[in-house]
Amino acid sequence: MNTLTKPHSTRKYNHRIKENILMSTQIIDITNKICPMTTVYVRLALDRAASGERLVVFLKGEETRRNVLTLLETLGQTAEWSVADDAAEGDYRISLCKS
């Protein structure tokens, strides 16, 4: 695993699905970023992702959550959001599979 720290934490994990095909998941942690850079990081990650790749975005704040969901909707992506597990108040997780 690469231990270099990037300005935004992006890691890839592999998950096995029924047909034994590896599906990659990209983790985008923008909890320490502020708007409008949050949407820039998500857009860059989405542009780099392959079709069918799963992305999970960790973010902080209601405004950021709304902005990222609006961006994804504008780009024709379907996403689900939830309050992040074991997180501080106002931390969210958005999950999507790039179409």
25: tokens are 């998941």
42, 27 Cβ separation under 8 angstroms: no
Contact 68, 57 (CB under 8 A): yes
Say how far residue 7 (Cα) sits from the centre of its chain. 15
**Predicted local distance difference test score (pLDDT) of residue 41:** 96
In the chain, the amino acid numbered 21 is I
d(CA 19, CA 27): 23
Tell me the per-residue pLDDT of 28-55, one tens digit each, with 9 for 90 and over.
999 999 888 999 999 999 999 999 999 9
65 three-class SS: helix
Q: What pLDDT score was predicted for residue 24? A: 81
Asked whether residue 92 carries a pLDDT value surpassing 60, the answer given is: yes
Say if residue 55 is exposed, middle or buried (CB neighbours under 10 Å; 0-12, 13-18, 19+): buried
Nearest partner of 11 among 23, 21, 25, judged by Cα: 25
